[in-house]
């Protein structure tokens, strides 16, 4: 892990809507909250897919096995679940999901 915690930038399409520095072990939805951004959640465990967003750039810690709210196709399109995934580097996130 780098000496500094990751910076996560949030976008809605091409528009920057906020950013925040990650805290240790914080999920992307928690980081969004720090940036003043609300990402809808329901189950908070990766089962429902409500918090699906698109990873534009950066690296995240993908759970193994993949949560039920994701599938290989969504992952190929950059889909990640903010309720159960942590950044492992600076990241750019589009809150518009890959549907």
Per-residue model confidence as pLDDT tens digits over 51-81: 999 999 999 999 899 999 999 999 999 999 9
Question: How many domains does one find in the chain?
Answer: 1
CATH number of the domain that residue 47 is part of: 3.10.20.30
Locus of tokens 């193994």: 64
Q: Is the pLDDT of residue 1 over 50?
A: no
C-alpha pair distances (Å), 44 with each of 3, 52, 77: 28, 11, 22
90 sits in which H/E element: none
What's the pTM? Answer: 0.92
Residue 89: pLDDT over 90: yes
Residue 2 domain-assigned (yes or no):
no
Give pLDDT, residue 99.
Answer: 75
Tokens of 54: 């698109």
Q: Is residue 64 part of a domain?
A: yes
- Locate the DSSP E strands across 1-99: 7-12, 15-21, 52-57, 60-61, 79-81, 86-87, 91-94
Residue 3 pLDDT exceeds 70: no
Residue numbers of the domain that contains 46: 7-94
Q: Does residue 71 form part of some domain?
A: yes
Residue 36 lies in a domain: yes
Q: Mind listing the pLDDT tens digit for each residue in 6-62? A: 999 999 999 999 999 999 999 999 999 999 999 999 998 999 999 999 999 999 999
Q: Is residue 77 part of a domain?
A: yes
């Amino acid at each position: 892990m780098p000496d500094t915690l990751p910076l996560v930038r949030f976008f809605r399409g091409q528009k920057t809507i906020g950013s925040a520095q990650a805290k240790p072990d914080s999920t992307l939805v928690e980081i969004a909250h720090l940036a003043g951004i609300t990402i809808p959640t329901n189950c908070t465990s990766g089962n429902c897919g409500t918090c699906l967003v698109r990873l534009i750039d950066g690296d995240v810690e993908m759970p193994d096995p993949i949560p039920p709210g994701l599938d290989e196709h969504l992952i190929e399109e950059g889909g990640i679940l903010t309720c159960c995934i942590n950044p492992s580097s600076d990241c750019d996130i589009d809150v518009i999901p890959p549907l």
